Chains A and B, each alone.
Chain A
Amino acid sequence: MEDELKNIDRFEAYLNGELSKEERELFNEETSKDPDFKEEFETYKNAITAIRILNRNVLRKDIEKIASEIDEVGERDKPFKIGSYLKYAAILIGVALIPLYFVFRNNATKTDVFADNFSPYQMISTERGEEQDSILNLAVVAYNKQNFDEASSFFKNVYEKNETEETQFYLSISLLGNKQYEEAIIQLKKLCENKLGLYYEQSLWYLSLAYIATEDFAKAETLLKQIVENNSYSYEKAQKILKEL
């Protein structure tokens, strides 16, 4: 009994990543050599899955009840609106802030909007190829260090050999980071042609920033409105920029 309870503690520690490197190695060795221990561990994981499913089903029933309550009063399909008194308050505050807006607007140029909003899209992994020094890895390392000059030339090299959307996307971001806006626009426009593409929404956002950087505000505004309307990637930032432009 004592041993079985102890095993449960070990399983828990293993799954929570609380074992030391040595303890972890020992655990792995035991699961590969001792079928009973392995079986016990598997059943432990099954039990955790059962706990999750049970509680998730309780929650699902609560949510279904909520959905039917909302359906009864017909609230659900309408976007939630703030009360009209809040709307009026917002208008009043907005009016009061107008003079301040002009003070700040005079101090900032529209292209500052690019600098304020551009941040490189997160790279998912740092190791892509088997060879640590492959060009792709060099590109990834340069990108993660925000050395966009190197990153753009490495990504360009990789893209020329293997035209994947992912490389094209990170090439575009690197070009933007390296202030090669026109080239970035060419790549991003291609990415935006495929609405089901992996990076479609993200590309719309970066393309709008590229237009801002090149002071093509009309095109930027069209894209930003599209982003807001569809709740696309970075729509909250797009909303903010639209107010600033």
Chain B
Amino acid sequence: MKIYYSNIEILDLIKSSDRDKNNKALKYIYRSYFADVLKVIRKFGGNKEIVNEVFQDSLIILYENIKTNKFKEESSLKTYLLSVAKYNYLSKLREKRKYQFGDFGELLPDDERYIEEMQDTREKNIEDAIELLFTEIGDQCKQLLKFFYYEKMPHKDIVKKLNFSSIQTAKTRKAQCMKKLIEIVNTKPGLKKHLMEIRETA
């Protein structure tokens, strides 16, 4: 494994649609910054177990913000990751102690919502039900919806990735896949209720 990656190199690896490259960057970030996060969270009285959870959740937020171009290259990855981790940890404390806190300069607009949502998802343990949901819509739809809604990939890139003949074809297919997914969600009232709750509490 390469010994040093610049911020820009890490961003390129994560923005790539190659999962191995993504994981290479994640591994590098893990090796490089886990100790820093551990130090910060311990300062606030957190134990190692909670640091693992906080670090992983924060890494997901960082990854998603890089993928969706919300994270800008001029910011330091480390500073941002530490801010998210600290916020994340304190929000866990808040649940327990009604902890009061306000401004975290480095956070991006949706971060607080995502952090809350992530904690909620863990608690409700609905991963299996959701996985099942996506086996029903097929692999192409699953990929297409991931690229567009999760990674915010532009249609032109999706066309290349999934070999569509035109942007219009990709758009129509995407709408069809979404319709299919909505129909399946509608047949599962329990899951629908959970999803609604996650959205409301986030």
If A57-B130, A82-B4 touch, does A66 touch B149 (CB 8 Å cutoff)?
no
A60 at the interface (CB under 8 A from B): yes
Contact of A66 among B26, B133, B145, B181 (CB under 8 A): B26
Among residues of A, the one whose C-beta sits closest to the C-beta of B146 is: A55
Asked whether B185 lies within 8 Å of A46 as measured between CB atoms, the reply is: yes
B50 at the interface (CB under 8 A from A): no
Query: What CA separation (Å) do A83 and B3 show in the bound complex?
Result: 7
Hey, which chain A residues are within 8 Å of B31, CB to CB?
Answer: 70, 75-76, 80
Hey, which chain B residues are within 8 Å of A64, CB to CB?
Answer: 56
Asked whether A56 lies within 8 Å of B60 as measured between CB atoms, the reply is: yes
Asked whether A51 lies within 8 Å of B60 as measured between CB atoms, the reply is: no
If A63-B56, A83-B3 touch, does A50 touch B181 (CB 8 Å cutoff)?
yes
Map CB proximity to A onto B157-190 as digits: 1 under 8 Å, 0 otherwise: 0000000000000011001101101100110000
Query: What CA separation (Å) do A62 and B56 show in the bound complex?
Result: 10
If A43-B192, A63-B26 touch, does A51 touch B179 (CB 8 Å cutoff)?
no
Hey, which chain A residues are within 8 Å of B192, CB to CB?
Answer: 43, 46
Asked whether B149 lies within 8 Å of A51 as measured between CB atoms, the reply is: yes
Query: What CA separation (Å) do A47 and B148 show in the bound complex?
Result: 13
Map CB proximity to A onto B125-162 as digits: 1 under 8 Å, 0 otherwise: 01100110110000000100110011000000000000
Asked whether B36 lies within 8 Å of A79 as measured between CB atoms, the reply is: yes
If A54-B134, A66-B30 touch, does A59 touch B185 (CB 8 Å cutoff)?
no
Contacts between chains A and B (CB distance < 8 A), count? 141
Task: Tell me the minimal C-beta distance from A192 to chain B in angstroms.
Answer: 15
Map CB proximity to A onto B76-106 as digits: 1 under 8 Å, 0 otherwise: 1011001000000000000000001111010
The prevalent SS among residues of A at the interface is helix
Query: What CA separation (Å) do A9 and B175 show in the bound complex?
Result: 7
Query: What CA separation (Å) do A40 and B149 show in the bound complex?
Result: 18
Among residues of B, the one whose C-beta sits closest to the C-beta of A56 is: B60
Among residues of A, the one whose C-beta sits closest to the C-beta of B142 is: A54
Task: Tell me the minimal C-beta distance from B102 to chain A in angstroms.
Answer: 5
Contact of B146 among A51, A62, A78, A236 (CB under 8 A): A51
A42 at the interface (CB under 8 A from B): yes
Asked whether B130 lies within 8 Å of A50 as measured between CB atoms, the reply is: yes
Give the residues from 3 to 57 in chain A that come closer than 8 angstroms, CB to CB, to chain B.
Answer: 4-5, 8-9, 40, 42-57
Task: Tell me the minimal C-beta distance from A6 to chain B in angstroms.
Answer: 8
Asked whether B4 lies within 8 Å of A231 as measured between CB atoms, the reply is: no
Hey, which chain B residues are within 8 Å of A60, CB to CB?
Answer: 56, 60
Contact of A70 among B19, B30, B100, B127 (CB under 8 A): B30
Asked whether B185 lies within 8 Å of A67 as measured between CB atoms, the reply is: no
Contact of A8 among B32, B56, B102, B175 (CB under 8 A): B175
If A50-B185, A199-B103, A202-B105 touch, does A42 touch B196 (CB 8 Å cutoff)?
yes
Hey, which chain B residues are within 8 Å of A43, CB to CB?
Answer: 182, 185-186, 192
Map CB proximity to A onto B1-35 as digits: 1 under 8 Å, 0 otherwise: 00110000000000000010011001100111111
Asked whether A56 lies within 8 Å of B182 as measured between CB atoms, the reply is: no
Asked whether B23 lies within 8 Å of A66 as measured between CB atoms, the reply is: yes
Contact of A45 among B23, B82, B118, B199 (CB under 8 A): B199
Beyond A49-B117, A54-B130, 6 additional contacts (C-beta under 8 Å) are A54-B134, A62-B22, A62-B23, A79-B35, A86-B3, A236-B79
Binding site for A on B (CB under 8 A): 3-4, 19, 22-23, 26-27, 30-36, 38-40, 43, 52, 56, 59-60, 63-64, 76, 78-79, 82, 100-103, 105, 117-118, 121, 126-127, 130-131, 133-134, 142, 145-146, 149-150, 171-172, 175-176, 178-179, 181-182, 185-186, 191-192, 195-196, 198-199
A–B Cβ pairs within 8 angstroms, 9 of them: A45-B199, A49-B195, A51-B149, A51-B150, A52-B117, A64-B56, A69-B27, A82-B4, A230-B43
- Lowest 3 CB-CB distances: which A-B pairs, in order? A80-B32, A46-B195, A79-B35
